[in-house]
Amino acid sequence: MPTKFTEYPRKEILKDKSTPIHTYQEIDHGVIQSTCLLLDIPLESLTHITSFLYPPSLLALSRTNKRLYEHVNDDNTWYRAFINQFLAIGPEHNLEYEKILLLRKSETTWRKEFIMRHNLRRRWEGSRNGTITHSPQDTAIDDVHLMSESGLLTSSIQYGVVARSLPLTGKVLKGYLDAAGTGLGIGNPNVEFTPNVSTCCLTSDGGTARAFWGKRNGEVAVTTAPRVMDPGRASSKLVRCKPQDQHDGVVNQIFLDPLVGRFVSGGTDGQVKLWDSKTVVCLWSSDRQLQSLVADPFLKVSSALAHGIIIGALNSGDIILWSSSTQFLSDVISAPISFTQHRITSPIPKEQPSPHDAVVPKPQPTMLCLHRCSQTTVALLIGYFDHPFFYRIVVDLTSGKHETTAFGDPSFGNNSIVEPVFAAQPDDYSFVITGSQLGSVGIYDWDISQTSSSVTPAHRCETDEDSAVTALTWSSLVLATGFASGTTIIWDALTLERLRLFWSPIPRAAPGREVGGVSKIVIAKELLIIVIGNRVMSWKVGAVRSRDAPHKDKHTRTKKNQLSKGQQRYDLHKDINESRRELEHEKAYTQRTMRRQREQHSTLNKLGLSEVEAVEYALMLSREEEEHRRFSRAIEEEGDFEDEMVLPLASSSLPTHGFPSPSTNQSSSSSLSDYHPRTYPRAARPVTDEKVQVSPVFVPEPMEAGVTISPLKISTSLPGSSTATKSLPVIVSSGSSSHEHFPLISSSSSSRSISGSPEHARSAWNTPLRSAPSPSPSPSPSPSSHGSSSPHVDTPILGRSSVSLSSASVDVHYGQSEEEHLEPDEMDDDLKFAIELSLAEARSRGEI
């Protein structure tokens, strides 16, 4: 009997299809043992193999076997895989100092560090989130402070205000924090502005924001705003310094010490002052620095009050360092503050300028900071704009001696920005990142030993940008560089590979105008803030979908609509109004179209024609007009006379001078009724053996579509023939020719022909003669003779000749139609003038 196939569960089928591990059996002291060939390799070789695997592969490998699980669970396996893939250090090689210079460990184990960096790199490189751009200020942004992912403070020195905005939504909150404390305007910088602000520094403590102002009149003020990011207008409090404590000149810079609640300021009066952040009371003021009895202004100031150190860079290039044993960590300072001053000469070597060289301005310091090395020594970092080097100055606080080390490579151009990254943990390393005017990025080891020559960079990044580096920001994961062209590039912090590129949010400027460069870059965990001009572009790292992630179901449950009823009602009315406007526009267009159609049909009904008949009638008129134009052109250009008469020339001598007498008028019988066309014009055989030149029959070249008209097949029944035939010259036979009135023209005349185009001015030779009536009929003279004749033999002359009289043509009847009748006197004058010109031309050639 037939049996049914046995069905097994799907899980059992998958288990049976799994690849078995090939083993072999060996006998050891009578005991049979199974051994795997894959696992029977040295541990070093297995570590070498697993160092090339990514975290997902390592985790999958740990689930295959107990021994492999123990191997993957070892933190050394993850450490070797991490340094092999991120630092390019092989499993068999030792750690290299230059390669681990940028390493910052943020997790407790190497397994967590490897997984975290691998995931974040994939998200930075493959996230598809879009950027959000907003303009919190009307002028250029000078400083920016990120309170949290939902709060951003931006300051403008030109207006002296601080704006509040939400970078992830692009919303700008109403109202500003200003340096005057008036609070009169609501989001209007023209009311809430202080035009005498020279510097500003922003900070925050929780939800409270503080803005430190330095003004051009030497005043120092602090604006405090609690709950600054709450919607609506923020309530702020402005505290000014005492008049006797302020600077005597412009405040150039304010530096806030992050570890203590105090700040320092430097001004053009050559003094550095120490202030309390809450009360804005001057705690200490330095002596005035003079240069040739003139105050030497401070351009940059910095401090490490936790170690009792304050430094300042003068306009002359020297650096002043003050050290104190006072404890500034406590809120109340009972003992008077005293500092010991150390003066350091400018680290830039002085060159002897040639009297022929132009005056080169001094490099201005752009970075000044300090790093405490030990209890008795401190290291200073000073960088200059448009200078190929930055300097490390190690100062001994006990003796006042210092050592200077130069960092830089002149072959890569001058530095445009210097950014130090000091070690926060004992196992980390300190380094300095620089950006050049040529667009390259260099990384220098800060802890290198003292050398007499300049220190070259340990790492170098060459970019494709042709503009200078204007902004630098480094985190443990990525390195961000901004350029003067507005472009921002994100690099991997360890491998220095390009991860992402952001274009400028400012539209392309007109030719001749430059687009603002990147001025600030802020990186906070997974949020990126880029400042260009008065615009802020924010971008948040998004999640990246893995390859093995399950796809969403097609019938997923739709999310609940988050819009309010009022918003839905507003959108509905908006859609209805737009639909009505579209219907009205379509109706008006239809009415206009139907009106034109009705007018056209009414016109055709009046004419008694249909549309097809109207089109045929229009084509017929077009063909008739084309035939008439071609017929007129052929007559004007060729002048083909159908009834040519042979006019024998007398052999009598011709006078060289004289004018023809008025000839008798032609008979009225020379009309169209006397005109008998023939199929082909034929020339009579000449009496003599002399050669006679005959003009060829003109055949018009077809230039456009239409009926081809031949000059030999002109029908008298064409439309408008009554008008066209009036211009036909009528040749009347005559028994004798008057040689007294018409002198002969030699056949050696110029071969130039008279243009027969309608635009050319008509000559008297192309117009039929109309003489006054006389008793005896006189033949109509031929305009010109073609060919040569013997003095005693009559030579027949056929039709019109092609002798050129362009040099003797006169524009007599230009612009007149062929139907106009000229008076006899005018015709005689024209004929006389033309004959005179012909005789003059013949005399000039010596033929007469």
DSSP assignment of 794-817 equals -----S------GGG---SSTT--
d(CA 34, CA 24): 6
Backbone phi and psi for residue 589, each to the nearest 5 degrees, phi listed first: -65, -40
Residue that the structure tokens 């630098």 belong to: 472
* Alpha carbon distances (Å) from 366 to 101, 386, 408, 606: 25, 10, 15, 90
The two structure tokens encoding residue 570 = 């507003």
Element at 590 (helix H, strand E): helix 565-607
Q: Look up the pTM and report it.
A: 0.61
Residues ≥6 apart with Cβ < 8 Å to 135: 172, 534, 535, 536
Does residue 372 contact residue 308 with C-beta atoms inside 8 Å? no
Residue that the structure tokens 């003796």 belong to: 399
Angle between helices 43-50 and 75-86 (to 10 degrees): 50
**What pLDDT, on a 0 to 100 scale, did the predictor assign at position 269?**
93
Q: For residue 752, is pLDDT > 70?
A: no
Q: Which residue has the higher pLDDT, 712 or 532?
A: 532
- Provide the CA 562 distance to its chain's centre, in angstroms: 39
Q: How many CA atoms lie within 13 A of 312 on its CB side?
A: 31
Element at 314 (helix H, strand E): strand 309-314
**What pLDDT, on a 0 to 100 scale, did the predictor assign at position 244?**
92
506-509 long-range contacts (CB < 8 A, ≥24 apart) are 506/532, 506/533, 506/535
Q: For residue 302, is pLDDT > 90?
A: yes
**What pLDDT, on a 0 to 100 scale, did the predictor assign at position 313?**
94
Domain 24-126's class? mainly alpha
Name the band, by pLDDT with cuts 50, 70 and 90, for residue 651. very low
**What pLDDT, on a 0 to 100 scale, did the predictor assign at position 609?**
80
Does residue 786 contact residue 802 with C-beta atoms inside 8 Å? yes
Q: For residue 769, is pLDDT > 60?
A: no
Element at 638 (helix H, strand E): helix 611-638
**What pLDDT, on a 0 to 100 scale, did the predictor assign at position 176?**
87
Q: For residue 717, is pLDDT > 50?
A: no
**What pLDDT, on a 0 to 100 scale, did the predictor assign at position 94?**
74
Q: For residue 721, is pLDDT > 90?
A: no
Q: Which of 294-298, 515-519, 617-621, 673-677 has the lowest mean pLDDT?
A: 673-677
**What pLDDT, on a 0 to 100 scale, did the predictor assign at position 165?**
93
Tell me the CA end-to-end span of the chain in Å, nearest whole number.
Answer: 138
Q: Which residue has the higher pLDDT, 55 or 794?
A: 55
Amino acid of residue 83 = I
Q: For residue 164, is pLDDT > 90?
A: yes
Average pLDDT score, the chain: 75
Residue that the structure tokens 């008297």 belong to: 764
Q: Which of 20-34, 299-313, 669-683 has the lowest mean pLDDT?
A: 669-683
- Report the SS3 class of residue 628: helix
Q: Which residue has the higher pLDDT, 787 or 28?
A: 28
- Of 402, 476, 497, 386, residue with least CA distance to 434: 386
- Report the SS3 class of residue 306: coil
What percent of the chain is modeled with pLDDT above 90?
37
d(CA 643, CA 502): 89
Strand partners, 115: none
Mean pLDDT of 747-753: 39
Going through 493-526 in order, the beta strands assigned E by DSSP cover 498-502, 518-524
d(CA 393, CA 747): 109
d(CA 291, CA 319): 13
Angle between helices 43-50 and 66-73 (to 10 degrees): 70
Total residue length of the chain? 848
**What pLDDT, on a 0 to 100 scale, did the predictor assign at position 827?**
57
Q: Which of 342-356, 417-431, 457-471, 714-728 has the lowest mean pLDDT?
A: 714-728
Digit-coded pLDDT (tens) for 572-592: 999 999 999 999 999 999 999
Q: For residue 783, is pLDDT > 70?
A: no
**What pLDDT, on a 0 to 100 scale, did the predictor assign at position 215?**
94
* Alpha carbon distances (Å) from 320 to 179, 269, 272, 391: 30, 15, 10, 15
Q: For residue 608, is pLDDT > 90?
A: no
**What pLDDT, on a 0 to 100 scale, did the predictor assign at position 187?**
55
d(CA 141, CA 139): 6
What percent of the chain is modeled with pLDDT above 70?
66
List for the chain the helix, strand, coil content (%; round to 5): 20, 25, 55
**What pLDDT, on a 0 to 100 scale, did the predictor assign at position 564?**
83
Residues ≥6 apart with Cβ < 8 Å to 388: 408, 409, 410, 412, 413, 414, 415
What ranges do the domains of the chain cover? 24-126, 629-848
d(CA 158, CA 334): 39
Digit-coded pLDDT (tens) for 52-89: 999 999 999 999 888 899 999 999 999 999 999 998 88
d(CA 677, CA 641): 9
Which of the given ranges, 490-499, 625-634, 711-720, 759-768, has the highest pLDDT on average?
490-499
Q: Give 154-174 as a 3 state SS string.
A: EEECCCCEEEEEECCCCEEEE
The string of DSSP letters for 765-785 reads: GGS---PPP-SS--PPPPS--
Q: Which of 58-72, 172-186, 444-458, 618-632 has the lowest mean pLDDT?
A: 172-186
Name the band, by pLDDT with cuts 50, 70 and 90, for residue 826. low
Mean pLDDT of 218-223: 94
The two structure tokens encoding residue 176 = 């500003």
Q: Which residue has the higher pLDDT, 768 or 353?
A: 353
Strand partners, 224: 210, 237
d(CA 483, CA 489): 9
Mean pLDDT of 632-656: 53
Which of the given ranges, 406-420, 507-521, 760-774, 816-830, has the highest pLDDT on average?
406-420
Name the band, by pLDDT with cuts 50, 70 and 90, for residue 697. very low
Q: Which of 230-239, 467-476, 660-669 has the lowest mean pLDDT?
A: 660-669
